[in-house]
Chains A and B, each alone.
Chain A
Amino acid sequence: MKINTTRFGEIDVDESTFFNFSDGLLGFPDIHQYVILDVEDSPFKWMQAVEKPEVAFVICDPMIFMPDYQVQVTRHDQNLLKLKDLSEGVVAVIIRIPEDPQKMTANMLGPIVFNPVSRLAKQIVLVDPNYSTKMRIFKDENPK
């Protein structure tokens, strides 16, 4: 299926790889379908809205920079995502990249949990006070 995107032009994607967000993302409640676009030789991926050419997020596996990161998925969300076992879920966080990429941040408070089998996904709100929406991925080279 061909979809239109602002950043990549018209691209051909396999409909069976779409992910369905029944609640949308916070701030984007009306966008329900996204497709993940791989980037060669990079831990980053694009998560492109299928219906909205201009909406795309950079996502990343948080374990790469925070191996002890933990996402608490409630029973309710587990059922909603049709996850038979929590270990089947795939977690990604949304990355924000400013002009200086060394200052990129990750939204650790609102991770996305994907079920690759049911193709359902949801942005989860964590209660952990140790996580923030703007965690610096790289430590400051010259800390104050």
Chain B
Amino acid sequence: MLVLSRHKDETIIIGDNIEVTVVDIKGDQVRLGIVAPRDVAVHRKEVYEAIQKENISAAKLGGMDLGKLGKLFPNVKPKKDSDEKNKPEK
């Protein structure tokens, strides 16, 4: 990992068009300002990790009767998709 020291209001540039500026430092917290092209997604890493963890737990569900669970939504009549015709046998 490349480690650089920066003071408040100093910036690093990544590639040609991503800038990260140290906006403020308070105790152990650093505020960063990020300028990046619109097609570059910038996220807190925890969010990625939370979704990753959630996906992994969700994939562990066993087979279950989702038809029965659908009745938990009393007011919902599921739409019939003409597009998706696949059905598990059971």
A-to-B contact residues, CB < 8 Å: 5-9, 11, 13-14, 17, 25-28, 35-46, 54-58, 64-65, 74-76, 79, 94-97, 101-102, 104, 107, 109-110, 116, 123, 125, 127, 133-134, 138
CA distance A76 to B87 in the complex (A): 33
Please tell me which one of the listed residues B41, B67, B76, B85 contacts residue A39 in the complex, with CB atoms under 8 A apart: B67
Q: Can you name 24 A-B pairs with beta carbons within 8 Å?
A: A6-B63, A8-B63, A13-B86, A27-B55, A27-B56, A27-B59, A36-B84, A38-B84, A40-B87, A41-B67, A41-B78, A42-B69, A43-B78, A46-B66, A65-B73, A75-B38, A94-B55, A97-B61, A97-B64, A109-B50, A123-B51, A125-B47, A125-B48, A125-B51
- With an 8 Å Cβ cutoff, the count of chain B residues facing the other chain is 38
CB distance from B17 to the nearest CB of A (A): 14
Are A58 and B86 in touch, CB under 8 angstroms?
Answer: no
Is B81 an interface residue when CB atoms closer than 8 A count as contact?
A: yes
Query: Which 3 A-B pairs rank lowest in CB-CB distance, beginning with the nearest?
Result: A42-B70, A76-B39, A7-B63
Is B72 an interface residue when CB atoms closer than 8 A count as contact?
A: yes
B-to-A contact residues, CB < 8 Å: 38-41, 43, 47-48, 50-59, 61-64, 66-67, 69-70, 72-73, 76, 78, 81, 83-90
What would 9 more interface pairs be, CB under 8 Å, given A40-B67, A58-B61?
A7-B63, A13-B86, A26-B51, A27-B56, A43-B78, A46-B66, A46-B88, A76-B40, A133-B50
CA distance A7 to B70 in the complex (A): 18
CA distance A116 to B82 in the complex (A): 12
Q: Beyond A76-B41, A96-B61, is A8–B54 a contact (Cβ under 8 Å)?
A: no
Determine the chain A residues whose CB is within 8 A of the CB of B86 once the complex forms: 11, 13-14, 17, 35-38
CA distance A40 to B62 in the complex (A): 18
Determine the chain A residues whose CB is within 8 A of the CB of B41 once the complex forms: 74, 76, 125
Determine the chain A residues whose CB is within 8 A of the CB of B54 once the complex forms: 94, 96, 107, 110, 133-134
Determine the chain B residues whose CB is within 8 A of the CB of A14 once the complex forms: 85-86
CA distance A65 to B61 in the complex (A): 21
